[in-house]
């Protein structure tokens, strides 16, 4: 016959061993999950950087086009004021410079 105290002690030791193994497995699963998450994040960083660079290039290109258009419109307006505008406006420096540039 098995001694009940010895049997309870064996069950207690077995339960402690199971809990320890369960914690070890849980830690390994957490580590694996974190590793997979980190790997997934690392894989997505490169496409995000590339997309960000492309967007910056597109936005910069559009900004350059718009700025060129604004400057062109400004230059055309200055030339028109210098050529056809009222005398008081013609003497203002930007218009006078534009006229000199146009005549040069």
The pLDDT score that the predictor gives to residue 94 is: 61
- Of 88, 81, 84, 87, nearest to 97 by C-alpha is 81
Q: What pLDDT tens digit does each residue of the chain (104 aa) get?
A: 788 899 999 999 999 999 999 999 999 998 888 888 888 887 888 888 888 888 878 778 888 888 889 888 888 887 887 788 777 777 776 655 544 555 55
The pLDDT score that the predictor gives to residue 20 is: 95
CB 96 within 8 A of CB 90: yes
The pLDDT score that the predictor gives to residue 81 is: 78
The pLDDT score that the predictor gives to residue 82 is: 77
The pLDDT score that the predictor gives to residue 22 is: 95
Q: Tell me, rounded to whole angstroms, the distance of Cα 100 from its chain centroid.
A: 46
């Amino acid at each position: 016959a098995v001694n009940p105290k010895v049997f309870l002690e064996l069950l207690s030791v077995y339960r402690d061993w199971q809990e320890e193994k369960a914690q070890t497995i849980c830690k390994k699963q957490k580590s694996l999950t974190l590793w997979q998450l980190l790997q997934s994040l690392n894989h997505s960083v490169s496409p995000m950087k590339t997309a960000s660079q492309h967007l910056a290039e597109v936005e910069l290109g559009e900004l350059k086009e718009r700025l060129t258009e604004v400057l062109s419109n400004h230059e055309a307006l200055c030339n028109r004021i210098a050529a056809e505008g009222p005398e008081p406006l013609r003497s203002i420096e930007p218009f006078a410079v534009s006229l000199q540039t146009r005549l040069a």
